[in-house]
Amino acid sequence: MSLPSGVRPASTADGGWVGDFGRALRAEWTKLRTAGDMGRLLLLAVALTVAVGCGTAKAVKCPDVGCGQDVVRLALTGVTVGQAVIAVFAVLAVSGEYGTGMIRTTLAAVPNRTTVLTAKAAILTTVVLASGTAAVLASLLAGRYILPGNGFTEAHDYASLSLAEGPTLRAAVGSVLYLVLIALLGLGVATAVREAATAIGIVLGLLYLFPVVTRVVNDPEWQRHLQQISPMTAGLSIQATIHLDELPIGPWAGLGVLAVWAAAALLVGGLLLHRRDA
């Protein structure tokens, strides 16, 4: 080997966590990079997000002053669809290994469960950060070109979409973080339940059931509470740029709610991973 003879034993012998973690990271990256559909799934996530965003921006018109539409939110509507693909992506990163039995090799190579889970989380975060940024920027760019044609112009009190605006920047950065948190939620759930179908069912159920149930709740107070704990509704409040005081929960607090969901899922997943064999 071309490596200096001292390097390899040094990192393993003293159990150097950083060295182990570095190798675990590389292993996870290799698996993710080379396992069949992963690249295509990410492309699909980006494409769907941008396509749905464009479709929404094309469909919604502003005939007059006072449309009450949040243009940033409109342009980023695709995130509600793209998140499903991101969730699949994250779930498959774990469940795929259980499906093929790869997980046994993974855990034999890196017996420390925390290291494995952290490495997976780190790789997922990086990858989703990159693709999420691409999706969000492309959606906003598309909105910037499409929306003025539908009447969202200066004459109707709408400025052109620009990241120089504080709220728009917050919505953009927040949407990327939202997608990352969705991936971590998927990772946690998949680690806990192992089986892909179950994990996807749970994640999508968590995301989509709250808004469906909220629709039929008659009591405004209950409705608000449901929206405050719903990972999707609360999390997506990060996209709001107008009428912030009417939101059931503030933008960053809402993203925090999703972060709590993701952290809880990771914690449960991590504990279960520690307790069982593979």
Partner 1 sequence: MTATLTPHPSPPATRRAEWGGFLRTLHAEWTKFRTVRGWVLAMAGALLSTIVVGLLGTAAPAPGGRGADSASYPRGPGGEAVNDSFYFVHKTLTGDGTLTVPLRSLTGMADTGTTGKTVQSTQPWAKAGIIVKESLTQGSPYAAVMATGGHGVRMQYDYTRDAAGPSGMPSEESPRWLRLVRAGDSLTGFASTDGSHWTEVGHTKLPGLARTVQAGLFATSPEAKQDTAAGTGFNPAVATGTFDRPVLSGGWSEGAWRGTQVGGDAGTSGSYSNALKGGFAQTDGGGFTVTGAGDIAPVVGGPVMGVGFSVENFLVGTFAGLIVVIAVGTVFITGEYRRGLLRTTMAATPLRGRVLGAKALVAGGGAFAIGLVAAAITLPIGERSARGRGFLVFPVTSATEVRVMVGTGLLWAAAAVLALGVGALLRRSGTAVALVIASIVLPFLLAASGVLPPSVSEWLLRVTPAAGFAIQQTLPQYAQVLSVYEPSTGYYPLPPWAGLAVLCGYAALAFGLAVVRLRGRDV
Near partner 1 by CB under 8 A: residue from 32, 42, 50, 60: 60
Closest to partner 1 by CB, 43 or 217: 217
Q: Which residue in 131, 163, 162, 166 sits closest to 147, CA to CA?
A: 162
User: Do 214 and 236 touch, CB atoms closer than 8 A?
Assistant: no
Task: For residue 218, state whether it binds partner 1 (rule: CB under 8 A).
Answer: yes
Residue among 22 and 205 whose Cβ is closer to partner 1: 205
Q: From the CB of 53, what's the least distance to partner 1, in Å?
A: 12
Letter string b/e over residues 145-160, b meaning 16 or more CB atoms within 10 A of that residue's CB: ebbbebbbeeebebee
Task: Please report how close the Cβ of residue 29 comes to partner 1 at its closest, in angstroms.
Answer: 20
What minimum distance in Å lies between the beta carbon of 88 and partner 1?
4
**Site map 165..204 versus partner 1, x via CB under 8 A:** ------------------------------xxxxxxx--x
Residue that is written with structure tokens 């691409």 in the block: 134
Report if residue 74 touches partner 1, rule: CB under 8 A.
yes
Cβ density class 127-141: b for 16+ within 10 Å, e for less? bbeebbbbbbebbbe
Task: Give the separation between CA 46 and CA 264, rounded to whole angstroms.
Answer: 27
Q: Is 213 in the site for partner 1 (CB under 8 A)?
A: yes
126 vs 198 by CB, closer to partner 1: 198
* Separation of alpha carbons 249 and 223, rounded Å: 12
205 binds partner 1 (CB under 8 A): yes
Please report the sign of the dihedral spanned by the C-alpha atoms of residue 88, residue 184, residue 131, residue 38.
negative
Contact status, residue 135 vs residue 50, Cβ threshold 8 Å: yes
Residues 31-50 that bind partner 1 (CB under 8 A): 37, 41
Q: Please classify residue 88 by burial: count the beta carbons closer than 10 Å to its beta carbon, then call 0-12 exposed, 13-18 middle and 19+ buried.
A: buried
Instruction: Give the integer Cα–Cα distance in Å for 4 and 11.
Output: 12
Q: Are 132 and 183 in contact (CB under 8 A)?
A: no
Positions in 94-113 near partner 1 (CB under 8 A): 95-96, 99
- Give min distance, CB of 113 to partner 1, in A: 22
If binding means CB under 8 A, how many residues of this protein chain bind partner 1? 48
CB nearer partner 1, residue 110 or residue 232:
232
The interface mask with partner 1, positions 109-138, x = CB under 8 A, is ------------------------------
Q: What are the residues binding partner 1 (CB under 8 A)? A: 37, 41, 56, 59-69, 73-74, 77, 80-81, 84-85, 87-88, 91-92, 95-96, 99, 195-201, 204-205, 208-209, 211-213, 215-219, 222
